[in-house]
Each structure stands twice: as C-alpha cells, then as structure tokens.
Amino acid sequence: MIHTPPRILAIDDTPANLLALGAALAGEFDLQIATSGATGLALARESLPDLILLDVMMPGMDGFEVCQRLKSDPSTQHIPVIFVSAMSQPEDQERGFALGAADYITKPFQVPLVLARVRVHVRLKLKSEALEKMAFVDGLTDIPNRRALERQLEDELRRARRGKTPLSVLMIDIDHFKAYNDSCGHGTGDICLRKVAHELKNSLMRPGDFIARFGGEEFCAVLPDCDADGAALVAEKMRQAVEALHIPHPDSAVGPYVTISLGCATGLLDGASEPSSLVDLADQALYRAKGMGRNRVVCHTRS
Ligand SMILES: [Mg+2]
C-alpha cells in the first residue's frame, strides 16, 4: 500500500544533506529522516516507507549494508532504494544496483533531479502494486481469486501446524446456477454472482477469515483457528444470508430464490493434511449436500 502522501525515508549522516532533501520533498511527500544506518533500518521496518533515499558513506553500518539487509527482509524488500552518494565511480554504482537498488544519484545532487527520480520510482511502485492486486483479485466479483486462495491456504496451514490450531475450509456452490443463467441470461447471472460473493464476504466473522471465488459459481472460505462446530456455524450463517437476499430463481428445484449448498472440512492437527486434501474433503461434503437436496450445510466427518 502506498501511503498518502507517499512516505519517503532519507538516511544520511550529514544533516545538511537531509535538510536539502527535506526542502525538496516536503510539499509532496511525507518525509522521515534517520542519521545512521542502524536507526534508518529500524525506522524502515517500523514505518514501511514507499521509497528510501540512502547515503553510502556512514559510520557504523554503511548504506550498502543497510540496502542488503532491507532486501533480505521480506517485509522491506519491495521498497525501492535510491542511493545518494558522493562515491561516483562506476563500480560503486554497479555495487549499489547489484544489491537491488532502484537508482543511484551522485552528490552533490541537484534537487530537481532527485525529485524527478523519486516521482518515477514512487509511480512504478504504485503500478506494480496495482498489478499485484489484479493478479490476485477476481475481476467479476472483486473478491480474491483462486491463486490468492492457494497462497492463503498454504500460509494458514503452516500457521495452523505451528500453532497446533484447527483450520477449516468451506466449499460453497450456488444451487442450479446453470438453470439460472439459462433462464435469466448471463448478464443477470454475473450480477447474481456479485451479490452472492458480497454476501458471503459479509458473513465472515473474524478478521483472519478469508473467502475467494474458486471458479464458476463456486466459492471457497478459509477459516483459521476454527473447529468443526465453528465452521458449521459460519456455513449456516452464509446459507441463511444468501437465501435472505431473495434473488428470484425462476428455475430452481429448491425454491423460489437463489440458494447455496456448503461443504465443510476441518484440518487435522497432526500435520497430515495438505491444502488440496482439505479442499477435496470440503468438496466431497459439498457433493453430499447436493445429493441430499441442496440449500444445506454438510460437514465432513472423519470415519
Ligand atoms: Mg555520509
């Protein structure tokens, strides 16, 4: 996320340099300053700036080391770093780029040039974040897509194993959706998908709960630290919420409105379950829910 205004961290041991940068950037950016490598690194980790201007020659931890540490920390590695240094030899600049710097400006710097380069790199960061978001969001419903789900499942399963907490997965399917599309048209079908997605998302109860479009008219929810009873509760809440939308379904064997069927599965705590198997178990339960007449919740039980 880019801050508004974008947040720039300047790390330089010479106060005069910081003053000059401050004067140049003040109107347009939220400027933070640090006068040593160590304090700059700590501040970067804490405030996650959108860009870092980094001096090379500093007592103690120099700029190259700061950059190396920023780039090896997953929480800060995406922050663009621009070196601002009196070391103007090509090999100094090469070293900076090899460490992952976005740019290298030599001192004495010209303020308009610094400003122009800062703007370019902030804009690039904004664009790459937008692309990243697009890659993980379903374009139709605006909720996370299947790729995002896979990533989330892996993260949550790892967390569940480490913390020895239960992890539940819900597979959700809109009942007789093909018939809905056939009688109402695909445009109306898309509107229905959006409404259901929105309602499912609103039914989640805790901040860590996650819902994605699995594909077609199928959705999948991931509920961390949630046992089988908790999962059944969330699932039933979703079922009721969608039914209560009262979206007319002219061609459903279940009833006059659009309904959903849900299958739940809760992960084993012995580390034996894989993300795919948890989804498979929930899918099997969903299949049973359909077999039993749809518009219901079925939980997988271990035999
Ligand atoms: Mg210096």
Whole-number Å distance, alpha carbon 120 to ligand 1 midpoint, is: 24
pLDDT, tens digit (0-9, with 9 covering 90-100), for 76-98 = 999 999 999 999 899 999 999 99
Q: Convert the pLDDT of each residue in 215-234 to its tens digit.
A: 999 999 999 999 999 999 99
Q: How far is the CA of 83 from the centre of ligand 1 (A)?
A: 11
The pLDDT of residue 194 is above 90: yes
Domain boundaries, the chain: 7-135, 146-299
The CATH fold assigned to 7-135 is: Rossmann fold (3.40.50)
Query: pLDDT (tens digit, 9 = 90+) per residue, 146-161?
Result: 999 999 999 999 899 8
Q: How confident is the model over 47-80, as pLDDT tens digits? A: 999 999 999 999 999 999 999 999 999 999 999 9
Residue 243 appears among annotated catalytic residues: no
Output the CA 61–ligand 1 centroid distance in Å: 11
Statement: residue 277 has pLDDT above 70 = yes
Q: What share of the chain is helix, strand, coil (3-state, %, to 5)?
A: 45, 20, 35
At 270 the pLDDT is 56
Residue 84 C-alpha to ligand 1 middle, in angstroms? 9
So what's the pLDDT on residue 1? 67
Q: Which of 94, 217, 218, 236 is catalytic?
A: 217
Query: For the chain, what is the radius of gyration of the CA atoms?
Result: 26
Task: Check whether 30 has a pLDDT greater than 80.
Answer: yes
Distances in whole angstroms, Cα of residue 141 to Cα of each of 102, 177, 190, 260: 35, 16, 8, 16
pLDDT the model gives residue 41:
97
Report the pLDDT averaged over residues 182-200: 97
| Rounded Cα gap, residues 248 and 225, in angstroms | 36
Cα of 85 vs centre of ligand 1, distance in Å, is: 7
Specify the amino acid at residue 69. Answer: R
Q: Is 293 left (phi over 0), alpha (psi -120 to 50) or beta?
A: left
Q: What confidence score (pLDDT) does residue 133 get?
A: 85
pLDDT tier, 4 (very low <50, low <70, confident <90, very high otherwise): confident
Q: Which residue type occupies 9? A: L
Residue 252 in this model has a pLDDT that exceeds 80: yes
Tokens of 204: 């989640």
Gap between the Cα atoms of 145 and 212, Å rounded: 5
Mean pLDDT of 118-145: 93
| Residue percentage of the chain with pLDDT more than 90 | 80
Ligand 1 centre and the CA of 82: distance in Å? 14
CA of 87 to the centre of ligand 1 (A): 10
Ligand 1 center from residue 2 Cα (angstroms):
28
pLDDT of residue 16 exceeding 80: yes
pLDDT at 3: 85
DSSP annotation of 248 reads B
pLDDT range class, residue 27, cuts 50, 70, 90: confident
Q: How far is the CA of 77 from the centre of ligand 1 (A)?
A: 23
CA of 112 to the centre of ligand 1 (A): 21
Task: Give me the chain's average pLDDT, please.
Answer: 93
146-299 topology per CATH: Alpha-Beta Plaits (3.30.70)
The whole-number average pLDDT for the span 187-213 is 96
Examine the pLDDT at 269 and tell me if it is beyond 80: no
Contacts of residue 248, defined as CB under 8 A and 6 or more positions apart, other chains included, come to 256, 257, 258
Residue 272 neighbours by CB under 8 Å, 6+ apart: none
b/e burial code for range 204-219 (CB count within 10 A of at least 16 → b) = beeeebbbbbbeebbb
* Residue 146: Cβ within 10 Å count: 15
The pLDDT value recorded for residue 301 is 79
